[in-house]
Amino acid sequence: MNGNTEYVQALFEAVYAKFKKTIDDYDLIPNDIEKVCIGMSGGKDAQIMSLLLLEYKKRERNDLELELLTVTTPSWKYQPDKYYKGDSSKNEYVTGQKKAINDNMKFWEEKGIPTKNVDFVPPINDDAIFNAEKPCVMCFIGLYRSLCNYLENEHKKGKKVVLSIGITKFDLLYVLESLTIRSNGKTWKYDKENNPAKYYFNRLQTSFFSPYPKILLGIPDTDICKITPIINLTDNETRELANQLKLPRIPDPCAKLHGDRFVSDKRYFDGYLAGTTTEDLNLDHINSGFFSDYQSLLDTFSRVGILPPKEDIDNILYKAINDEKIVSIYK
């Protein structure tokens, strides 16, 4: 490992212990699972999740296949040479972004994890994202359409797979905050009975960011799940470990290239949390305090009627992202 070896090793082991406990407590990777498909955005959370899954394979399941999947849309982020072909004003950006993408792929290939690019499934494309009222949500819809399509094809080949996504405790808190604001003092049971359209939307958003560590995607004739094995980590933990290990990252250029419309409210929320949880990042902080108790967060928001039950989140994502009425809301 790079960096201050003793500190980094201790930090890694503490983070790995939380990760491993989440896998064990929620049975995220049963013995019959042959392959974990890792959603690779290029950000710190995806990088740390990939590293932890590789360590899990070495320590627990040497037979487990890992594969990094990068969805190549929006092209201005993942295929900048294609998107800006002929635009010399973007040469510096294209060169830097391509290097980051290639460095990321090379890093993980050398670690022994194969990488694969996955194309968006039409009709969602660069134009659909760029012109959408909420481009980040449209991008999420396209992302999950593409990943579900890939997983469905793996299932047809007879492969038992799960999809692993780098959702952290900060993402969980964002979902819980959003649900609380939109509840307007009403419980999920009230909305389910009296405002089913609103409840359907809440379930969709909840399935995107998965406060539950394991949900069924709802891909027809399959039991393929999405798992979130780093959901018990905060962004401060993933950032610190990624920085200490000097892991490669693919920059997110959307706001810089296209303006504030491409900054989701979640980014502001993440920034607020990062600023309010910057106590000395030591092993005591990682293993104690409010942010360590993931399950109590779920239990609390379930008990007060804010968080929909898991059975209402299972099997909705595939149906919702392929529902043109839902897609049209964000156009």
What's the pLDDT tens digit per position in 100-114? Answer: 999 999 999 999 999
Helices 265-276, 235-245: axis angle to 10 degrees equals 80
CA distance 99 to 145: 27
Which of 140-149, 254-263, 311-320 is least confident? 254-263
Q: Using 50, 70 and 90 to split pLDDT, how confident is the model at 292?
A: low
Average pLDDT over residues 180-202: 89
Give the predicted TM-score (pTM) of the model. Answer: 0.90
The Cβ-side half-sphere exposure at 143, using a 13 Å CA radius, reads: 21
**In whole angstroms, how large is the CA radius of gyration of the chain?**
20
Written as one letter, the residue type at 66 is L
Residue 39, SS3 per DSSP: strand
Q: Which CATH architecture has domain 5-329?
A: 3-Layer(aba) Sandwich (3.40)
CA dist 162 and 230 (Å) reads: 15
pLDDT band at residue 284 using 50, 70 and 90 as cut-offs: very low
Q: In the structure, what pLDDT confidence band is assigned to residue 240 with cuts at 50, 70 and 90?
A: very high
Beta bridge partners of 36: 66, 162
Element (H, E) at 161: strand 161-164
**How many Å apart are CA 85 and CA 106, to the nearest integer?**
24
Q: Rounded to whole angstroms, how far apart are CA atoms 77 and 89? A: 16
8-state DSSP, 32: T
In sequence order, what E strands does 11-60 have?
Answer: 35-39
* pLDDT score, position 174: 81
- Render pLDDT for 54-89 as a digit per residue (tens, 0 to 9): 999 999 999 999 999 999 999 999 999 999 999 999
Identity of the residue numbered 284: D
Read off φ and ψ for residue 115, nearest 5 degrees: -115, 150
